[in-house]
Amino acid sequence: MSISNLGIVAHVDAGKTSLTERLLYAAGVIARPGSVDAGSTQTDTLALERQRGITIKSAVVSFPIGDRTVNLIDTPGHPDFIAEVERVLGVLDGAVLVISAVEGVQAQTHILMRTLRRLSIPTLLFVNKIDRLGADDQRVLRQIADRLTPAAIALGSATGLGTRAAQYRPFSSDDPAFTARLVELLAEHDDALLAAYVDGGPGALPPERLRTALARQTAAGLVYPVLFGSAVTGAGVVELMAAIRELLPAACTDASAPPAGRVFKVERGVAGEKVAYVRMFSGTIRVRDRVNGEDKVTAIRVFEHGKAVPRPAVGAGQIGKLWGLAGVRIGDSLGTAAATVDERYFQPPTLATVVVPDRPADKRALRDALTQLAEQDPLINVRQDEAGQELSVSLYGEVQKEVIQATLADEYGIGVHFRETTTICIERPAGTREAVAYLNTESNPYQATIGLRIEPAAPGTRVTFRLAIDPRTVPLYVYKDLDSFRAAMSEYVRDALQVGLSGWQVTDCLVTMFRCGYSVMDGPPSLRGPRSTAADFRKLTPLVVGAALRQAGTVVHEPIHRFHLELPADTLGAVLPALAKLDAIAHATAVRGSVCTVVGEVPAARAYRLQQRLPALTRGEGVLEMAFDHYRPLRPSARSGRVTGGAAGTAGSGRRYTGTA
Ligand code: GDP
């Protein structure tokens, strides 16, 4: 049985959720399609999503199409959640991009399509809502050709547009106009096909030959088939399923190769334990396997026939839920042949805001509620300032504030408002230094010896922890074995690195423990003392980390977004100076007819301002795509982190927050 991991992506309201329900219904997984409007769908899990009719979290549902198992991974549609979209796209074999036949191609559709093309994801375009008043198939086809891709081809047409009776009619293989269009498109990347056509005319190419070429080029991301339909009446849905089976590729299912998978979602199970959603690219991970040296997999569920069912292993091509991986994070690669993870797909949140309860008495309840929310969505990092007075959350964009505000009000009855949005910087060590605290010395109040070396590592590698000590110096009466000691020390070190010299998280470094020691009641004088405890190691670690960091020094880096801007060419003269004012750098500018494209980078601190100013500068026609790109040393002149409001604020100075989650 073959497997395809597919995503349905769409601009908000295009009908992604409704289409998912329709597909599940058509595949016989659910008895009747749920309704977004009645709040009864399979994939919208959060109450908020149900109320607002938007989908925020991705979830997996699976269904069979003939001999193929399709795992459908729901993706969010709002640009503020583009990080989540990209994270999911990276694990897909193919996608269906839904476009509304009424509203047509939107700015967000454009952004999603660019991302799909950039990642070379095979994609079908489904023009939805043909039953709705105002549906216009020809206009949407023109928009697709002009704004999304010249390599799109309609596989059929819509009849009865704008009425409940609207239907999708696939073109027949002996339709000469369709065949000519298809051959012309496919011949661009298929010389043999072109030659056969030139030699013998359309008759020389049997329909099967064209379908195979179409499937091959769709799988290669060279051609984008277009279908029409309605998620509400079900028109075109059966044909869409056939196209998924025929034109989108199946996953590689080589279960005997070395294991490689990628985590694209992490959630908490009923008992509060971490559950990782993993896409396997090759090989097999079994229960009790140790992945990446540390955690042991304790249970596995694999998505089959609409449900996640308990299984002893998850193999190539499949999507599994894995229990037992306490240290796992979204974006992690698992397995010995760890899939090459392109860090660009996994953007960190670059903004933060302080959440203030409307009623001061709600402060405690607010902290508990935010901590719970952060657990559901590990990307919402909750932090508390040192004095315990303020709570801040990390964000991808301004809209997330609205979502958090509504959730707190609806689910916890807590009204909140927000302070200005600031950027989240990071610190990287400036050099390699070490520090040791010896047992039974005056400056060390704890019953432990710890020596740590901190050195800079490559950007994007986060924190790596290693032991380089004599195992006999590890207190095995405290920690079960060397592995448990390594795991515990690694956690203490990571905790200590949460707050660097300037108050930001320290990252991209290698920490090596090169000295260890514990006290023994009747040992030699240098080791004599009350038995060491885990608390001694836990409390001493931040002191040693701090000492090493102070010697090494750190460099504060600010997040930089890359942007891709399309605008009317005659507005470029006004846009370029505005970009310069926002500290943005334009790397390349290209003019094609009346449309101009600018590619460049902008500090995340200025990104929102750019978004806000763009409509006025471009008569509302500018389309801006932005995503986190890299961290850059903070320049003293750019010390402003304030995102809302016009004036510069202070970001890099003395904001110390510690994690509460
Ligand atoms: P999503 O935001 O992309 O998940 O879109 P939804 O599935 O939530 O649909 C948004 C709205 O459009 C809802 O009110 C749906 O009932 C409606 N809708 C979705 N698909 C269709 C369709 O094919 N025809 C009609 N008439 N309405 C649709």
Q: What would the pLDDT profile of 179-234 be if each residue is shown by its tens digit?
A: 989 999 999 999 988 888 888 766 778 889 999 999 999 999 999 999 999 999 99
Element (H, E) at 604: helix 604-617
Q: Considering only the C-alpha atoms of the chain, give the largest distance between any 2 of them, rounded to a whole number of Å.
A: 96
Find where tokens 């996608």 sit. Answer: 95
Asked whether 486 and 467 are in contact (CB, 8 A), the reply is: yes
Quick one: pLDDT at residue 650?
33
Kindly report, residue by residue over 605-642, the tens digit of the pLDDT. Answer: 898 889 889 999 999 888 887 878 899 999 765 444 43
Q: How far apart are the CA of 53 and the centre of ligand 1, in A? A: 9
Residue 312: how many other CB atoms lie within 10 Å: 11
Shortest-distance atom of ligand 1 to CA 19: 7
pLDDT level of residue 100 (50, 70, 90 thresholds): very high
Q: How far apart are the CA of 410 and the centre of ligand 1, in A? A: 24
Quick one: pLDDT at residue 337?
52
Atom 22 of ligand 1, residue of closest alpha carbon = 129
Shortest-distance atom of ligand 1 to CA 13: 2
Q: How far apart are the CA of 135 and the centre of ligand 1, in A? A: 13
CA–CA distance, 154 with 178 (Å, rounded to integer): 9
Q: Is 255 exposed, middle or buried (0-12, 13-18, 19+ CB in 10 A)?
A: middle
- Average pLDDT taken over every residue of the chain: 85
Structural tokens at position 566: 């399309």
| CA proximity to 124, closest of 96, 151, 105, 149 | 96
Shortest-distance atom of ligand 1 to CA 54: 2
Quick one: pLDDT at residue 377?
62
Probe residue for ligand 1, chosen from 9, 12, 13 as the CB with the greatest number of ligand atoms within 8 Å? 13
Q: How far apart are the CA of 13 and the centre of ligand 1, in A? A: 6
Shortest-distance atom of ligand 1 to CA 21: 7
Q: How far apart are the CA of 37 and the centre of ligand 1, in A? A: 8
Mean pLDDT of 326-339: 70
CA–CA distance, 84 with 129 (Å, rounded to integer): 26
CA–CA distance, 205 with 214 (Å, rounded to integer): 13
DSSP state of 651: S
Kindly report, residue by residue over 121-172, the tens digit of the pLDDT. Answer: 999 999 999 999 999 999 999 999 988 999 999 999 999 999 999 999 999 9
pLDDT level of residue 477 (50, 70, 90 thresholds): confident
Q: Which residues pair with 631 in a beta bridge?
A: 559
Q: How far apart are the CA of 43 and the centre of ligand 1, in A? A: 14
Given a cut of 50, is residue 646 above it in pLDDT? no
pLDDT level of residue 659 (50, 70, 90 thresholds): very low
Given a cut of 60, is residue 46 above it in pLDDT? no
Quick one: pLDDT at residue 644?
36
| Amino acid type, 584 | A
Q: How far apart are the CA of 15 and the centre of ligand 1, in A? A: 4
pTM for this entry: 0.66
Quick one: pLDDT at residue 84?
64
Q: Is 64 exposed, middle or buried (0-12, 13-18, 19+ CB in 10 A)?
A: middle
Quick one: pLDDT at residue 81?
56
Given a cut of 90, is residue 481 above it in pLDDT? no
Q: Is 202 exposed, middle or buried (0-12, 13-18, 19+ CB in 10 A)?
A: middle
Atom 9 of ligand 1, residue of closest alpha carbon = 15
Q: How far apart are the CA of 9 and the centre of ligand 1, in A? A: 13
Asked whether 326 and 295 are in contact (CB, 8 A), the reply is: yes
CA distances from 435 to 451, 452, 472 (A): 6, 6, 21
Helix (H, G, I), strand (E, B) or coil at 232: coil
Range in 81-85, 98-102, 393-397, 524-528 the model is least confident about: 81-85
Given a cut of 80, is residue 57 above it in pLDDT? no
| Amino acid type, 301 | R
Probe residue for ligand 1, chosen from 17, 18, 19, 61 as the CB with the greatest number of ligand atoms within 8 Å? 18
Range in 6-10, 414-418, 538-542, 545-549 the model is least confident about: 6-10
Atom 2 of ligand 1, residue of closest alpha carbon = 13
List CB contacts of 357: < 8 A, sequence separation 6 or more: 363, 365, 366, 414, 415, 416
Who has greater pLDDT, 40 or 201?
A: 201
Mean pLDDT of 275-284: 92
Mean pLDDT of 426-445: 95
**Phi, psi of 67, deg, nearest 5:** -90, 10
Shortest-distance atom of ligand 1 to CA 11: 3
Quick one: pLDDT at residue 114?
83
Quick one: pLDDT at residue 373?
76
Atom 10 of ligand 1, residue of closest alpha carbon = 13
| CA proximity to 342, closest of 120, 494, 495 | 120
Quick one: pLDDT at residue 45?
46
Asked whether 651 and 556 are in contact (CB, 8 A), the reply is: no
Pocket of ligand 1 (CB under 6 A): 10, 12-18, 36-37, 53-55, 77, 128-129, 131-132, 230-232
CA 561 to chain centre: 15
Quick one: pLDDT at residue 523?
82
Q: How far apart are the CA of 408 and the centre of ligand 1, in A? A: 26
Who has greater pLDDT, 9 or 82?
A: 9
Given a cut of 80, is residue 30 above it in pLDDT? no
Atom 20 of ligand 1, residue of closest alpha carbon = 15
pLDDT level of residue 82 (50, 70, 90 thresholds): low
Range in 34-43, 240-249, 648-657 the model is least confident about: 648-657
Atom 14 of ligand 1, residue of closest alpha carbon = 37
- Please say whether the dihedral angle defined by the alpha carbons of residues 104, 107, 112 and 116, taken in this order, is positive or negative: positive
Q: How far apart are the CA of 110 and the centre of ligand 1, in A? A: 19
Shortest-distance atom of ligand 1 to CA 53: 8
Q: How far apart are the CA of 128 and the centre of ligand 1, in A? A: 8
Element (H, E) at 510: strand 509-518
Kindly report, residue by residue over 568-582, the tens digit of the pLDDT. Answer: 999 999 999 999 999
Q: Which residues pair with 659 in a beta bridge?
A: 383
Given a cut of 90, is residue 110 above it in pLDDT? no
